[in-house]
A and B are shown apart, each in its own frame.
Chain A
């Protein structure tokens, strides 16, 4: 008899995908400024390392929070024993207020509707267990975070059906794409339970437009399904347009306490905004009491350490600190983003215009030998093994168009980012003239050139649209 379960022996954990192979190469030869300056620079890790000094200074000024003390008195025992899956009340209060602050206080949240989980990884999986049966499906816009293949499908048996988005409209979700995805699910005999979006998007680094959000709300209303909005990057929006949460849209449409209201659920975390992925702090927010109740019980399988809940309740309750942190963090992200974008430009590489996240969605289609995923893989291998940069290929994010890559900018020092850009420039110069130049006839070359020009025009237009949504909307 087979000794392990089907779940244990299948590949749904996704760890054999290219996304993880790049990491493996990095582990074998990791860059270090001093000890290994020729090593691989990690640009595949969406971490926020820009604002630790702010956290460290707070910790130094507030030693009680990590020292199990409250107003000088030890509360070690209470914390050690506290395993109530309803969560530490002071922490939930501080967390929802922080969520509200990040959303410009345009929406407020009820702490009793917040469920704490060991990271957003756990939150997303838990929501799948609550909302779908094995064999049912959720629709996800592509490109999407590679981890979803594991988080949403592995132990739950739920399927993902992609909502295909393309560069023709900056990868925005369209009504047609939604309907196509829904139909695709029907064709595969999969019952659709909901849509899951990441807003701001990973890997695009863009906030969703009001238009897209309205579209989504109307779609789930019509189909009678759920909407999960993973807003894990909400605190990383560094330039306009402002972040609009789906909750704001529901409010604007007067949907409070309707059926639709009860079918919209948020996922959040402190891993990206505060840069604390190790502390495993995630949350589900739902307006539906039954979802909150079921998710709360399920959180027993992934509770947040009370030691950590206490530390963060103290930190997030310090409103002076959170205000300063949010502002400063966004400023630094903006600067880094600019640095990456201009560095790429010098190498003749454009990105999708973005205003959020810890990465850029980079267009290297002009560097492909052919418009295929094989060519993308080949280019990616060159970049990992020769240029020694670990970036994430679009195919690992289920992008439908070859040639796009996610490149992170917030998980290294400025100097390292500079170095990465220099390496890339050197590579592109050589690659363009040798590899690409050889493979093309002059006519092919001019077609390529004109395509590059029109793409350039389009990207340029986007980058000047800073103050407005990319599509006409109903504002």
Chain B
């Protein structure tokens, strides 16, 4: 066959070979140390305790009890498989109506009924990871930017930027006001983007915040909404931790603010949610985009073809989340247990002479070790972190991996282990601090 050989072999795309997936950062190096020497109460009591994983393991018993009492949720019909084929065939990107209704109602309950959600605005995606990327594809073009307050979830570097080609420009927040977002900081970030000739398409906040473990205050939300309206850009509010607020009244969702404003200018606002944190089901890949913009809803729905939720899982959760008795009880007890864990870790750290940011939500606390750094620099922070991982044998997340502008802060998770393990971790920290003070 006379086919000439014309050019050298082609390789992979730039996206494929880039490092924007971020997996070579220190954030992941700590995980490696854990994987190589994982703590186990009985078999490896001196191993590395995983405190870098924001998982919620405190309320599984409630879910297990529900499943035991409602086998039809996992088996397509009481004692039979009659609903199986319909479910197996269901790949409509609108998602199961019963599930969307259940999701909307659950989101309302989590907000204490202070905001209403329309099931027809709920778009389903395989996790919040997919939801955030999808929204970025819809709201911004390659080369454009989203403004994100620091410190932020390290995964955003991948989720918002990798395949989309969109940039993140940080909104710098610091401890002088408990890391709250201010209008000057928003303006500064916007100007910074402008000076680099980058078009800003929106602001993305996480409320409650990861890694701060604190809700965003009403006045701050109002300021952010005013800012995005002034600049004619979008606001994405990732409320993935909304059900993990220790006290219901302290969480204010952007949805409430919009309702109070009678939905004026709301078509620029989009909420991301997921069941990975509140229900502790990251494996089931259940995320959602709730948008007040019809075109975004339609487009997101179409794009969700690339990331649909298994209909088997939609069926299970439609059943569970429609059970208002179950959900009300779950939300209440989950909250209480998280608060108890939070109190435990705060007290344990305080007695070791360590302060944390005052938090009221999430699966972690934002710990301040800046007084104990050899040097008040990123290197100083990483050196201390190295000791934490390899000497104290706790995998915690250094603030630099969250793009924090002040060195010395660390995110420490408390809901992904037993109480006993948390005690062990606190004891290790206590001993480490005693040793450090004597040096």
Contact B60 A280 (CB under 8 A): no
Interface of chain B residues 133 through 154 with chain A (CB within 8 A) = 133, 137-142, 144
User: Which one of B79-87, B213-221, B322-330, B381-389 contacts A?
Assistant: B79-87
Contact A306 B138 (CB under 8 A): no
Contact A302 B306 (CB under 8 A): yes
Q: Which A residue sits closest to B91, measured CB to CB?
A: A277
Which of B55, B84, B307 contacts A302 (CB under 8 A)? B307
Give chain A residues whose Cβ lies under 8 Å from the Cβ of B425. Answer: none
Tell me how far the C-beta of A106 lies from the nearest C-beta in chain B, rounded to whole angstroms: 25
Q: Which B residue sits closest to A157, measured CB to CB?
A: B142
B74 CB–A CB distance under 8 Å: yes
Contact A175 B3 (CB under 8 A): yes
Tell me how far the C-beta of A289 lies from the nearest C-beta in chain B, rounded to whole angstroms: 11
B188 CB–A CB distance under 8 Å: no
Indicate the member of B5, B268, B295, B299 with the most A CB atoms within 10 Å: B299
Chain B 357-387, CB-CB to A under 8 Å as 1, else 0, gives 0000000000000000000000000000000
Tell me how far the C-beta of A446 lies from the nearest C-beta in chain B, rounded to whole angstroms: 42
Contact A301 B10 (CB under 8 A): no
Known: A5-B139, A129-B163. A224 touches B1 (CB 8 A): no
Give chain A residues whose Cβ lies under 8 Å from the Cβ of B311. Answer: 278-280
Q: How far is the CA of A131 from the CA of B141 in the complex (A)?
A: 21
**Size bracket, chain A contacts:** 35 or more
Contact A8 B296 (CB under 8 A): yes
Tell me how far the C-beta of A263 lies from the nearest C-beta in chain B, rounded to whole angstroms: 7
Tell me how far the C-beta of A62 lies from the nearest C-beta in chain B, rounded to whole angstroms: 11
Task: Give chain A's interface secondary structure class.
Answer: helix
Contact B295 A263 (CB under 8 A): no
Contact A77 B60 (CB under 8 A): yes
Tell me how far the C-beta of A453 lies from the nearest C-beta in chain B, rounded to whole angstroms: 36
Contact B137 A7 (CB under 8 A): yes
B7 CB–A CB distance under 8 Å: yes
Contact B91 A118 (CB under 8 A): no
User: Which one of A63-71, A343-351, A380-388, A421-429 contacts B?
Assistant: A63-71
Contact A279 B310 (CB under 8 A): yes
Q: How far is the CA of A80 from the CA of B88 in the complex (A)?
A: 20
Q: Which B residue sits closest to A83, measured CB to CB?
A: B282
User: Which one of A119-127, A245-253, A355-363 contacts B?
Assistant: A119-127
Tell me how far the C-beta of B197 lies from the nearest C-beta in chain A, rounded to whole angstroms: 14
Chain B 278-296, CB-CB to A under 8 Å as 1, else 0, gives 0011111100000000011
Q: How far is the CA of A122 from the CA of B107 in the complex (A)?
A: 28
Interface of chain A residues 216 through 263 with chain B (CB within 8 A) = 218-219, 222-226, 259, 263
User: Which one of B12-20, B173-181, B244-252, B399-407 contacts A?
Assistant: B12-20
Contact B60 A294 (CB under 8 A): no
User: Which one of A47-55, A97-105, A325-333, A366-374 contacts B?
Assistant: A47-55
A447 CB–B CB distance under 8 Å: no
Give chain B residues whose Cβ lies under 8 Å from the Cβ of A154. Answer: 303
Known: A5-B140, A6-B141, A130-B13. A305 touches B309 (CB 8 A): yes
Give chain B residues whose Cβ lies under 8 Å from the Cβ of A77. Answer: 57, 60, 64
Known: A67-B71, A280-B310. A222 touches B283 (CB 8 A): no
Q: How far is the CA of A52 from the CA of B137 in the complex (A)?
A: 37
B90 CB–A CB distance under 8 Å: yes
A190 CB–B CB distance under 8 Å: no
Contact B163 A179 (CB under 8 A): no
Contact A130 B295 (CB under 8 A): no
Tell me how far the C-beta of A242 lies from the nearest C-beta in chain B, rounded to whole angstroms: 25
Contact B85 A52 (CB under 8 A): yes
Tell me how far the C-beta of A274 lies from the nearest C-beta in chain B, rounded to whole angstroms: 8
Give chain B residues whose Cβ lies under 8 Å from the Cβ of A129. Answer: 13, 15-16, 163
Indicate the member of B55, B201, B312 with the most A CB atoms within 10 Å: B312
Contact B281 A80 (CB under 8 A): yes
Give chain A residues whose Cβ lies under 8 Å from the Cβ of B283. Answer: 79-83, 305-307
Give chain A residues whose Cβ lies under 8 Å from the Cβ of B349. Answer: none
Indicate the member of A3, A219, A225 with the most B CB atoms within 10 Å: A3
A471 CB–B CB distance under 8 Å: no
Contact B16 A118 (CB under 8 A): no
Chain B 119-138, CB-CB to A under 8 Å as 1, else 0, gives 00000001101100100011
9 contacts between A and B (CB under 8 A): A1-B232, A4-B296, A7-B138, A56-B84, A80-B280, A122-B307, A133-B15, A271-B91, A280-B311
Question: A: which residues have CB within 8 A of B?
Answer: 1, 3-8, 13, 15, 47, 49, 52, 55-56, 59-60, 63, 66-68, 74, 76-77, 79-83, 118-119, 121-122, 125, 129-134, 150-151, 154-155, 175, 179, 193-194, 215, 218-219, 222-226, 259, 263, 271, 275-281, 290-291, 294, 297-298, 300-308, 311
Q: Can you name 9 extra interface pairs (CB under 8 A) apart from A81-B282, A276-B88, A300-B127?
A: A4-B296, A5-B138, A52-B88, A121-B306, A150-B302, A155-B163, A280-B126, A290-B11, A305-B284
The 7 residue pairs across chains A and B that have the minimum distance between CB atoms: A278-B311, A306-B283, A305-B310, A294-B16, A222-B3, A224-B9, A82-B283
Question: B: which residues have CB within 8 A of A?
Answer: 1, 3-17, 21, 23, 55, 57, 60, 63-64, 67, 71, 74-76, 80-81, 84-85, 87-91, 126-127, 129-130, 133, 137-142, 144, 158-159, 162-163, 199, 201, 232, 234, 268, 276, 280-285, 295-296, 299, 302-303, 305-313, 316
